[in-house]
C-alpha cells in the first residue's frame, strides 16, 4: 500500500536555542538534508516544539504536500508524542513521523568537537530519513471494554479494592479461596500501634462488602483459567461444594450444635478445633456453613437440625462459573512460614515454642483459650516469654528479605502481655534491628521499653528444652554487650517470615504474572507502576507483591481500584499499534512443529496451534519485538520497527567509513534513556556511535549484527536493561542474551576480535556508564586500528554474505 | 504449639493422637483384647481401619489379623470404640473416655443384654467363670458385713449364713456368646446376642487339615473339629458373628458369614445406616429404616442398591 504515492519528506531542524545551534552547524545540516533522497522541504526553527515551530510543520505539510516528517531535535523520549500530535493535526497519520536525536546524542555530548558532532548529526538525520522513507501509516487499535472487574483474594487489600470499584459503579466479582473473606486481618487480636481490635474494625467492612449490590462474593472457589486481554478477560472459576446451599443457610448454627465431630481449626492455626459443619469464625462473610467431608461421618444430625430450611445437600457438586471482566486485581496475600525445617528453634519439637500467629490466636479473646495465654505443656500461664525476631526473614539461607511487619506485631504482643500480666511476666525480645519507621511506630516502641520489656540485640543461636519443666533455654549473643547470653523462658514466640501464599505459582501461571526471586509477584515498575502487573489490565494489591501491613495494604487496594477504573471507565481501550504481525504465508508452523515465537513471547500473546500459522493476540502484544527476532522464517514483523526500516537505518549509518563507527542498538527504556542522560548531563564521549533505537533489546535480530559486520562496521554494541528483572518486557533482555551468547563465539571463530561485538547492560540512570562505555570501546577500536578491522572484515564478508543470502536478506 | 499428630505402636497397644494446644484426642487399641475381627473396619466411616493377615507362628498356629488405623484418615469419632464387641478400642478426650458420637446421639451403642439373678446362685459355684472363653466373669462371695471372699469353706458357719453371691462381668468387653448361660447349672444367666446372623462352612472347599479359622476363633466351642470328617464345623449357638475367622480363611467362599441383625440403642443416624449396610446388608438397613418409620430413607437405600426383594 505504501509506495503508490510519491514520497515527499519534510525535515525540520531545531536550534533548541543554543542547545543544538551552539555546537552544530545548522546551516550545513540544512544544506545536507536537502541532498537526501525524497526530501522536498527543509526548514530550521529556533524552537520546533514551541507553538510557532509546530505551526510551521503544520503549514509545511499542507503547503508542500509532505507525506513524511522528520524532526531533528531532542530525544524522541521527550517530544515524539508532541510531534506525532502535530502531524496528525495537519492531517497526516502520526506514525509517518520520525525523530532524529541530534541534541542528547550529538550537541550535548560532543561540545568540544563541533565538526565531528555535525558529521554525526548528519548521519543521524540521514538514518531518520532512511527510516522515514519506509514508514507506513498505522491505526491505533481499539478494543471494547467490559466494565466489570474481578478481584482475586478477599483480604483487607482485596476488600478495599472491591468496595472502591463498587462505589464507582462497577460490578465486581470478589473471588475468595477460603470460606470467608477477611484474610489474615480477621485472625488478629489487636492492630498496631493503636491496639484497636482487629475484627471490630474489619468486621463492618466485611459486612459492607457482603451487602454491596455491586459486589458478588464467590467464596470457597478456585481460579481455573483466564484468557483474553485488557478489557476482555474470560475467567473460569470452580466453586467447591460446601454441601450447604448458600441461599437456604441462615447462619443460625443449629447444625454445628448437634455435630459430633471436631477437627483442628486452620483458622486457629491448629490450636483449637471446629465442628465438621461450621464456619471458621463467627463473623464470617458470607455467613454460610461448610461441611468438611474429610472429617464428616454423615450421621445427618445436621440435616435433622436444619429441618425445613433444607440447607444441607450432601450431593452438591463443584460448579464451574464463567465470567467476563475488563480488569483483574490480584490480592492473594501471604502465608506465614512454619519453621519445621529449622532445627535451631525447636518448632514442632518443643511444646512451648510457637509462632507469632499462633500466639495471636492464644491472646485473642475469641480464640481457643478464651484469651488466656497458657502453655500447651501444662496449661499454666507463662512467667517469662521470649520473642525471637527474623525467624526465616533476613536469613541468607532461607528468605533474604525483611518481612516488614514482624517488628511491629512483636511490639504489639509484648505491650499486650505486659499490660495484661504486669510484673507477673518477664518479657524478652531478641532482635537484629527494630524497624519502626512509620507513623506512631517509634512512639509505640518507646511505650514497650517503658513497660520494662528486655530488648536484646542479637541473633539466637540455639534453643534447648529443659525436659522436666518444658522451659526453654535460649542461647544468644548480645551484640551490644558483645558477650553470649543464656535465658530461660517459659514460652518462646517466633516472629517468622511472611512468604508467598500457597498457590501463588498457580496464579502466576494462569495470569502470566512474573515473580521475583522472593516468590512474590513483580510489579510493572518498582517506582512508577507499583500497582500494575506487567500484563495490561491486571493490577496488584497488598501482600501478594511483598509483605505489607494493614494501612499499606488498604492504600494499595484503593490504589489498584483506581488503576483498574482507568480501564473500566472507558468504552474502548486504545493499544499502541507497534505490535507484531505474522505473515501466515511464511509461518513454518503450518508445515512443521515450530512454535518458537509462542514459547519466547514474554506475555503469552502468541498462539501457535498445530498445523496453524502462529497468531498474535493483538491486545496482549506489548510490542517488544522479541518474537520477530526469534522467528527462524522471518515471518513476523513488528509495526514501526520492521526489519526493512531497521536495516535501512543500519545501512545508512554505515555508508561512509564504517570501520570508524560503533553501531549501537539501544533499548528504549533503559539504554537509550541512559544515553539520553549522558547527553543531558553533558558527559562528553567520542562521536563514534550511530544509535538505533529499538523498543526492547529482544528485538535485535542476529541478522542485524551480521549485516553490520558485513557492511564493515568497526564495532557493534547491543545495550539492554539490566538482568535479571529490569526488562520492561519481562524477559526480552534474557532472550537477547541467549541469542547473542550463541552468536559471539561463532563470530570469533570466523576471525572477529572479541572486543568488536559487545553486549552491555545500561540502566536509565547510568549516563556515566554509557559515556565510559563508548569511550572505552572507541579506544579499543582505535587500538585495533583501521587496517586490522578492514582485514577482519574482508575475511568475514563472504561468509556473512553467504549466511544472509541463504535467508534472502542481502 | 502447632498441631501434633502421633502414631505409636508397642507390643501391647497401638496409639493415635491429635495433640492440640488446648485439647488432646487419643485412640488406643488394646492388642490384648483385639481378636482381629472385621467389625471396626466395616463400621469406620472414614475407612481408616485396615486388617493385615499375619504369618503363622513357629508352631504353625494361625494368628489373627492385625488391626491398623490410618492416622491421616482417622477423625477420632469413636465409632470403632462403640462397635467393638470385645471392647478393645478406647477413644479419649483430654484423658477422659468421651465418645462424641454417643453424647450427641449420632451413633447408637451396642446393646448387651446380660441378666444375672444371683439370688439363685449356689454358693461356691464357679461354672460361669470357668466357662467364659474371654475370662470376663469373676464370682465372689459377700458376707453380711460386706467382706468379699472367694471360698466359703474358710468362713465360720455364722458367717456362711448371710453369704451373697456376686457375679461381676466386664460387660463392655463381652461379645455375648452365651456360653456362660448354657453352662450355668441353675439358669441364673440370661444373655442375648448382639449380632445375629448365619455362618456356614462348606467343608468340601476346606483344604485337608486346615485349622485357620479355628485357630483364631476367640470363642471356644463356636468352631470345632468333627471327628467324622476331620474338618472344622460351626456351632452357631455360640458364634458371635465377629468375622475373625472369615478374615483368615484361605479359600474363597469356604466360610460364609452374614449378619442379619444387630442389637443397638435406638438412634437415627446416617452413619449407623452406612455401617449397618457394610456390617449386614442394604436389605437389613431398609428393614430397620421401615421399622423406624423412615420410609423415605428406606426407599432411597433401595433405589441406590436396586434391592427390592426384602425377604425375611
CATH topology of domain A579-627: Alpha-Beta Plaits (3.30.70)
Tell me if B301 is assigned to some domain.
no
| Cβ contact, residue pair A260, B77, below 8 Å | yes
Tell me if B155 is assigned to some domain.
yes
- Report cis status (omega within 30 of 0) of the bond before A750: no
Residue with cell 500457597: A502
The helix or strand, by DSSP H or E, that contains position A549, with its residue range, turns out to be: none
List, for residues A594-626, the tens digit of each pLDDT value. 999 999 998 889 999 999 999 999 888 989 999
User: What pLDDT was estimated at residue A228?
Assistant: 84
Which chain A residue lies closest to B273 (C-alpha atoms)?
A299
Name the grid cell of A65.
504536500
Residue with cell 480464640: A367
Q: How far apart are CA B137 and CA B89, in angstroms?
A: 20
| Cβ contact, residue pair B104, A258, below 8 Å | yes
Give the pLDDT band (50/70/90) at residue B143: confident
B215 in the same domain as B140: no
Q: Chain A: nearest CA to B166, how far in angstroms?
A: 38
Number of CB atoms found within 10 A of residue A309's CB: 14
A270: nearest CB among B3, B104, B105 = B3
B161 in the same domain as B83: no
Which chain B residue lies closest to A359 (C-alpha atoms)?
B1
Coil, strand, or helix at residue A357? helix
Q: How far apart are CA B174 and CA B98, in angstroms?
A: 20
Q: How far apart are CA A737 and CA A723, in angstroms?
A: 9
Residue with cell 526469534: A630
Contacts with A258 from chain B: Cβ below 8 Å: 104, 106
Give the pLDDT band (50/70/90) at residue A807: low
Which chain A residue lies closest to B45 (C-alpha atoms)?
A297
Which chain B residue lies closest to A257 (C-alpha atoms)?
B104
| Cβ contact, residue pair A261, B79, below 8 Å | no
Longest dimension (CA), chain A: 99
Q: How far apart are CA A580 and CA A586, in angstroms?
A: 14
Q: Which residues contact A285 (CB under 8 A, 6 or more apart)?
A: A180, A181, A182, A206, A207, A209, A210, A217
Which chain A residue lies closest to B1 (C-alpha atoms)?
A354
B21: nearest CB among A262, A303, A376 = A376
Q: How far apart are CA A615 and CA A624, in angstroms?
A: 16
Torsional sign, CA A248, A252, A253, A257: negative
B20: nearest CB among A272, A298, A338 = A272
Nearest to B258 by CA among B282, B294, B291: B282
Q: Chain A: nearest CA to B273, how far in angstroms?
A: 8
Name the grid cell of B224.
470345632
Average pLDDT for A665-688: 94
Tell me if B35 is assigned to some domain.
yes
Q: Which residues of A touch B (CB under 8 A)?
A: 258-264, 269-273, 276, 294-295, 297-301, 303-304, 338, 347-348, 351-355, 358, 362, 368-369, 376
**Can you give the pTM of this predicted structure?**
0.82
Class of domain A641-810: alpha beta
- Is pLDDT above 50 for A527? yes
Give the pLDDT band (50/70/90) at residue B308: low
Would you tell me the crossing angle of helices A406-421 and A356-363 to the nearest 10 degrees?
A: 30
Q: Does this chain's domain A1-140 share its CATH topology with A579-627? A: no
Residue with cell 466357662: B131
Alpha helices in A111-225 (DSSP H): 114-133, 156-167, 198-211
Q: How far apart are CA B166 and CA B118, in angstroms?
A: 7
- Is pLDDT above 50 for A2? no
Q: What angle do CA A259, A265, A267 make, to 5 degrees?
A: 130
Give the pLDDT band (50/70/90) at residue B312: very low
Q: How far apart are CA A473 and CA A492, in angstroms?
A: 10
CATH: 3.90.550, 3.20.20, 3.40.50, 1.20.58. Which one for A1-140? 3.40.50
- Is pLDDT above 60 for A374? yes
Q: How far apart are CA A456 and CA A86, in angstroms?
A: 66
Contacts with A376 from chain B: Cβ below 8 Å: 1, 19, 21-22
Residue A241 has what DSSP assignment? P
Give the pLDDT band (50/70/90) at residue A808: low
Q: Are strands A319-325 and A232-239 parallel, antiparallel or unpaired?
A: antiparallel
Give the pLDDT band (50/70/90) at residue B216: very high
User: What pLDDT was estimated at residue B311?
Assistant: 44
| Cβ contact, residue pair A261, B21, below 8 Å | no
Which chain B residue lies closest to A276 (C-alpha atoms)?
B75
B92 in the same domain as B52: yes
Average pLDDT for B255-271: 92
Contacts with B105 from chain A: Cβ below 8 Å: 301
- Is pLDDT above 70 for A768? yes
Which chain A residue lies closest to B43 (C-alpha atoms)?
A297
- Cβ A526 vs Cβ A533: under 8 Å: no
- Cβ B189 vs Cβ B115: under 8 Å: yes
| Cβ contact, residue pair B21, A271, below 8 Å | yes
Highest mean pLDDT among A555-569, B120-134, B194-208: A555-569
| Cβ contact, residue pair A298, B271, below 8 Å | yes
Of B153, B168, B191, the residue at which a domain comes to its end is B191
Residue A286 has what DSSP assignment? S
- Cβ A390 vs Cβ A432: under 8 Å: yes
DSSP per residue over chain B, as a string?
Answer: ---EEEEEE-SSEEEEEEE-SS-EEEEEEETTT----SHHHHH-TT--EEEE--PPPTTSPPPPPEEEE-TTT-----HHHHH-TT--EEEEETTEE--HHHHTTSSPPBP--EEE-GGGPPTT--HHHHH-TT--EEEEEE-TTS-EES-GGGS-HHHHHT-EEEEEE-GGG-----HHHHH-TT--EEE--SEEEEEEE-TTTSPTT--HHHHH-SSBTTEEE-TTTSSEEE-TTT-----HHHHH--STTTEEEEEEEE-B-----HHHHHHHHHHS-HHHHHHHHHHHT-HHHHHHHHHHHT------
Torsional sign, CA A594, A599, A600, A606: positive
List, for residues A440-490, the tens digit of each pLDDT value. 999 999 999 999 999 999 999 999 999 999 999 999 999 999 999 999 999
Q: How far apart are CA A219 and CA A262, in angstroms?
A: 23
Establish, for the pair of chains A and B, how many residue pairs have beta carbons separated by less than 8 Å: 96
Average pLDDT for B283-304: 78
Nearest to A430 by CA among A467, A469, A490, A485: A485
Q: Chain A: nearest CA to B226, how far in angstroms?
A: 44
- Is pLDDT above 70 for A4? no
Q: How far apart are CA B82 and CA B262, in angstroms?
A: 13
- Is pLDDT above 80 for B309? no
Q: Chain A: nearest CA to B20, how far in angstroms?
A: 5
Name the grid cell of A283.
463473623
Coil, strand, or helix at residue A441? helix
| Cβ contact, residue pair B270, A298, below 8 Å | yes
Average pLDDT for A211-238: 95
Residue with cell 466351642: B221
User: What pLDDT was estimated at residue B268?
Assistant: 86
User: What pLDDT was estimated at residue A641?
Assistant: 97
Name the grid cell of B283.
436389605
B45: nearest CB among A298, A355, A376 = A298
Which chain A residue lies closest to B102 (C-alpha atoms)?
A260
Domain extent, residue B38, equals 4-103
Lowest mean pLDDT among A566-575, A731-740, B152-161: B152-161
Q: How far apart are CA A107 and CA A124, in angstroms?
A: 12
A271: nearest CB among B20, B77, B105 = B20
Tell me if B186 is assigned to some domain.
yes
Give the pLDDT band (50/70/90) at residue A584: very high
Contacts with B274 from chain A: Cβ below 8 Å: 298
Q: Chain A: nearest CA to B42, how far in angstroms?
A: 13
- Is pLDDT above 80 for A694? yes
Q: How far apart are CA B211 and CA A158, in angstroms?
A: 69
Tell me if B296 is assigned to some domain.
no
Beta bridge partners of residue B154, listed in sequence order? none
User: What pLDDT was estimated at residue B310?
Assistant: 47
Of B103, B129, B145, the residue at which a domain comes to its end is B103
Average pLDDT for B58-72: 94
More confident residue, A227 or A580: A580
Which chain A residue lies closest to B269 (C-alpha atoms)?
A299
Q: How far apart are CA A581 and CA B94, in angstroms?
A: 70
Q: How far apart are CA A720 and CA A671, in angstroms?
A: 6
Q: Which of B21, B82, B92, B303 to mutate to test the interface with A (most CBs of A within 10 A)?
A: B21
Question: Dihedrals φ, ψ of A446, to 5°?
Answer: -60, -40
- Cβ A216 vs Cβ A150: under 8 Å: no
Query: So where are chain A's domains?
Result: 1-140, 141-240+318-330+511-575, 243-316, 335-499, 579-627, 641-810
Of B256, B272, B301, the residue at which a domain comes to its end is B256
The domain that holds B144 is classified in CATH as: 3.30.70.20
Q: What CATH number is given for A141-240+318-330+511-575 in this structure?
A: 3.50.50.60
Q: How far apart are CA A539 and CA A553, in angstroms?
A: 13
Name the grid cell of B169.
462381668
List, for residues A78-112, the tens digit of each pLDDT value. 899 999 999 999 999 999 999 999 999 999 999 99
Contacts with B79 from chain A: Cβ below 8 Å: 297
Q: Which residues of B touch A (CB under 8 A)?
A: 1-4, 18-23, 45-46, 75, 77, 79, 100-101, 103-107, 268-272, 274
Torsional sign, CA A666, A667, A671, A672: positive
CA A482 remoteness from chain centre: 42
List, for residues A12-31, the tens digit of each pLDDT value. 999 999 999 999 999 999 99
Q: What angle do CA A644, A650, A654 make, to 5 degrees?
A: 140
Q: Which residues contact A499 (CB under 8 A, 6 or more apart)?
A: A334, A335, A336, A337, A392, A399, A519
Q: How far apart are CA B269 and CA A580, in angstroms?
A: 66
| Cβ contact, residue pair A260, B101, below 8 Å | yes
Q: How far apart are CA A143 and CA A146, in angstroms?
A: 10
Tell me if B295 is assigned to some domain.
no
Q: How far apart are CA A72 and CA A20, in angstroms?
A: 10
Give the pLDDT band (50/70/90) at residue A752: very high
Q: What angle do CA A692, A693, A699 make, to 5 degrees?
A: 100
B1: nearest CB among A260, A263, A351 = A351
Q: Which residues contact A481 (CB under 8 A, 6 or more apart)?
A: none
B2: nearest CB among A258, A273, A338 = A338
CATH topology of domain A335-499: FAD/NAD(P)-binding domain (3.50.50)
Amino acid at each position: 500500500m505504501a509506495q503508490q504515492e510519491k514520497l515527499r519528506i519534510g525535515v525540520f531542524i531545531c536550534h533548541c536555542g543554543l542547545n543544538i545551534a551552539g555546537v552544530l552547524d545548522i546551516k550545513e545540516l540544512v544544506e545536507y538534508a536537502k541532498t537526501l533522497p525524497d526530501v522536498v522541504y527543509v526548514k530550521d526553527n529556533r524552537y520546533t516544539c514551541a507553538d510557532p515551530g509546530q505551526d510551521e510543520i503544520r503549514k509545511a505539510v499542507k503547503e508542500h504536500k509532505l507525506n513524511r516528517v522528520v524532526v531533528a531535535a531532542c530525544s524522541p523520549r521527550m517530544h515524539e508524542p508532541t510531534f506525532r500530535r502535530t502531524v496528525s493535526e495537519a492531517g497526516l497519520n502520526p506514525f509517518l513521523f520520525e525523530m532524529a536525536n541530534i541534541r542528547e546524542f550529538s550537541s550535548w555530548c560532543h561540545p568540544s568537537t563541533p565538526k565531528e558532532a555535525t558529521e554525526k548529526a548528519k548521519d543521524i538525520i540521514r538514518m531518520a530519513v532512511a527510516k522515514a522513507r519506509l514508514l507506513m501509516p498505522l491505526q491505533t487499535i481499539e478494543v471494547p471494554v467490559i466494565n466489570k472487574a474481578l478481584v482475586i483474594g478477599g483480604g483487607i487489600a482485596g476488600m478495599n479494592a472491591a468496595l472502591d470499584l463498587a462505589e464507582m459503579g462497577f460490578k465486581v466479582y470478589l473471588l475468595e479461596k477460603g470460606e470467608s473473606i477477611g484474610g489474615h486481618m480477621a485472625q488478629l487480636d489487636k492492630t498496631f500501634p493503636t491496639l484497636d481490635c482487629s475484627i471490630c474494625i474489619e468486621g463492618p467492612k466485611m459486612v459492607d462488602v457482603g451487602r454491596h449490590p455491586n459486589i458478588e462474593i464467590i467464596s470457597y472457589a478456585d481460579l481455573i483459567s483466564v484468557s483474553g486481554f485488557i478489557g476482555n478477560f474470560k475467567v473460569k472459576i470452580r466453586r467447591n461444594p460446601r454441601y450447604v446451599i448458600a441461599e437456604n443457610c441462615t447462619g443460625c448454627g443449629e447444625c454445628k450444635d448437634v455435630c459430633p465431630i471436631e477437627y483442628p481449626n486452620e483458622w486457629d492455626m491448629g490450636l483449637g478445633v471446629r465442628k465438621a459443619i461450621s464456619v471458621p469464625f463467627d463473623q464470617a462473610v458470607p455467613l454460610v456453613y461448610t461441611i468438611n467431608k474429610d472429617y464428616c461421618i454423615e450421621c445427618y444430625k445436621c440435616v435433622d437440625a436444619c429441618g425445613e430450611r433444607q440447607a444441607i445437600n450432601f450431593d452438591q457438586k463443584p460448579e464451574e462459573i464463567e465470567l467476563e471482566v475488563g480488569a483483574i486485581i490480584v490480592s492473594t496475600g501471604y502465608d506465614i512460614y512454619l519453621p519445621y525445617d529449622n532445627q535451631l528453634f525447636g518448632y514442632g519439637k518443643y511444646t512451648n515454642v510457637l509462632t507469632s500467629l499462633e500466639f495471636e490466636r492464644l491472646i485473642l479473646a475469641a480464640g481457643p483459650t478464651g484469651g488466656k495465654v497458657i502453655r500447651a505443656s501444662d496449661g499454666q500461664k507463662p512467667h517469662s516469654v521470649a520473642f525471637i525476631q527474623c525467624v526465616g526473614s533476613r536469613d541468607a539461607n532461607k528468605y533474604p528479605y525483611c518481612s516488614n511487619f514482624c517488628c511491629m506485631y512483636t511490639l504489639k504482643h509484648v505491650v499486650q502481655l505486659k499490660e495484661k500480666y504486669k510484673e507477673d511476666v518477664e518479657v524478652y525480645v531478641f532482635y537484629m534491628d527494630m524497624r519502626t519507621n512509620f507513623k506512631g511506630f517509634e512512639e509505640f516502641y518507646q511505650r514497650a521499653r517503658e513497660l520494662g520489656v528486655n530488648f536484646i540485640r542479637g541473633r539466637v543461636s540455639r534453643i534447648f528444652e529443659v525436659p522436666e519443666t518444658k522451659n526453654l533455654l535460649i542461647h544468644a549473643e548480645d551484640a551490644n554487650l558483645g558477650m553470649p547470653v543464656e535465658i530461660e523462658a517459659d514460652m518462646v514466640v517466633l516472629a517468622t517470615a511472611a512468604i508467598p501464599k500457597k498457590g501463588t505459582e498457580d496464579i502466576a501461571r494462569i495470569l502470566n504474572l512474573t515473580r521475583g526471586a522472593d516468590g512474590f509477584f513483580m510489579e510493572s515498575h518498582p517506582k512508577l507502576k507499583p500497582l500494575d502487573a506487567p500484563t495490561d489490565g491486571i493490577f496488584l494489591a497488598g501482600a501478594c507483591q511483598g509483605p505489607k501491613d494493614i494501612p499499606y495494604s488498604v492504600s494499595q487496594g484503593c490504589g489498584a481500584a483506581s488503576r483498574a477504573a482507568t480501564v473500566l471507565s472507558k468504552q474502548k481501550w486504545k493499544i499502541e499499534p507497534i505490535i507484531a504481525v505474522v505473515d501466515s504465508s511464511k509461518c513454518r508452523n503450518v508445515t512443521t512443529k515450530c512454535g518458537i515465537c509462542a514459547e519466547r513471547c514474554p506475555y503469552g500473546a502468541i498462539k501457535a496451534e498445530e498445523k496453524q500459522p502462529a497468531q498474535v493476540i493483538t491486545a496482549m502484544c506489548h510490542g517488544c519485538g522479541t518474537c520477530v527476532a526469534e522467528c527462524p522464517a522471518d515471518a513476523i514483523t513488528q509495526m514501526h520497527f520492521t526489519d526493512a526500516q531497521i536495516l535501512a537505518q543500519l545501512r545508512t549509518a554505515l555508508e561512509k567509513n564504517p570501520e570508524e563507527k560503533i553501531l549501537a542498538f539501544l533499548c528504549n527504556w533503559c539504554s537509550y534513556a541512559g544515553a539520553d542522560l549522558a547527553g543531558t548531563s553533558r558527559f562528553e564521549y567520542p562521536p563514534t556511535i550511530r544509535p538505533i533505537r529499538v523498543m526492547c533489546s529482544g528485538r535485535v535480530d542476529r541478522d542485524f549484527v551480521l549485516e553490520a559486520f558485513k557492511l564493515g562496521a568497526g564495532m557493534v554494541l547491543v545495550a539492554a536493561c539490566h538482568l535479571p528483572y529490569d526488562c520492561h518486557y519481562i524477559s526480552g533482555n534474557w532472550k537477547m542474551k541467549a541469542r547473542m551468547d550463541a552468536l559471539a563465539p561463532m563470530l570469533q571463530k570466523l576471525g572477529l576480535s572479541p572486543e568488536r561485538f559487545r553486549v552491555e547492560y545500561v540502566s536509565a540512570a547510568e549516563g556515566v556508564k554509557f559515556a565510559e562505555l563508548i569511550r572505552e570501546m572507541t579506544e579499543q577500536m582505535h587500538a585495533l586500528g583501521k587496517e586490522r578491522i578492514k582485514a577482519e572484515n574482508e575475511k568475514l564478508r563472504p561468509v556473512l554474505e553467504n549466511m544472509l543470502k541463504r535467508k534472502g536478506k542481502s | 504449639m502447632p498441631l501434633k499428630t502421633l502414631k505409636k505402636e508397642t507390643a501391647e497397644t497401638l496409639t493415635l493422637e491429635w495433640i492440640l494446644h488446648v485439647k488432646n484426642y487419643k485412640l488406643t487399641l488394646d492388642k490384648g483384647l483385639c481378636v482381629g475381627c472385621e467389625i471396626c473396619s466395616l463400621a469406620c466411616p472414614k475407612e481408616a481401619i485396615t486388617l493385615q493377615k499375619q504369618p503363622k507362628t513357629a508352631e504353625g498356629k494361625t494368628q489373627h489379623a492385625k488391626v491398623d488405623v490410618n492416622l491421616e484418615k482417622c477423625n477420632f469419632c469413636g465409632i470403632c470404640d462403640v462397635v467393638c464387641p470385645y471392647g478393645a478400642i478406647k477413644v479419649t478426650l483430654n484423658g477422659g473416655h468421651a465418645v462424641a458420637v454417643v453424647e450427641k446421639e449420632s451413633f447408637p451403642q451396642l446393646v448387651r443384654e446380660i441378666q444375672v439373678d444371683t439370688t439363685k446362685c449356689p454358693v461356691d459355684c464357679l461354672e460361669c467363670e470357668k466357662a467364659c472363653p474371654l475370662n470376663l466373669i469373676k464370682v465372689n462371695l459377700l458376707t453380711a458385713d460386706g467382706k468379699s471372699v472367694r471360698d466359703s469353706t474358710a468362713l465360720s458357719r455364722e458367717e456362711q449364713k448371710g453369704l451373697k453371691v456376686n457375679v461381676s462381668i466386664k460387660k463392655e468387653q463381652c461379645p455375648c456368646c452365651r456360653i456362660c448361660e448354657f453352662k450355668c447349672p441353675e439358669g441364673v444367666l440370661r444373655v442375648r446376642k448382639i449380632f445375629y446372623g448365619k455362618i456356614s462352612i462348606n467343608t468340601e472347599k476346606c483344604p485337608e487339615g486346615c485349622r485357620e479359622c479355628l485357630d483364631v476363633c476367640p470363642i471356644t466351642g463356636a468352631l470345632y473339629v468333627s471327628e467324622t470328617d476331620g474338618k472344622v464345623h460351626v456351632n452357631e449357638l455360640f458364634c458371635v458373628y465377629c468375622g475373625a475367622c472369615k478374615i483368615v480363611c484361605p479359600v474363597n467362599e469356604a466360610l460364609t458369614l452374614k449378619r442379619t441383625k444387630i442389637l443397638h440403642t435406638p438412634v437415627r443416624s446416617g452413619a449407623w445406616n452406612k455401617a449397618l449396610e457394610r456390617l449386614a446388608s442394604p436389605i437389613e438397613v431398609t428393614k430397620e429404616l421401615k421399622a423406624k418409620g423412615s420410609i423415605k430413607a428406606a426407599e432411597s437405600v433401595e433405589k441406590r442398591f436396586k434391592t427390592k426383594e426384602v425377604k425375611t
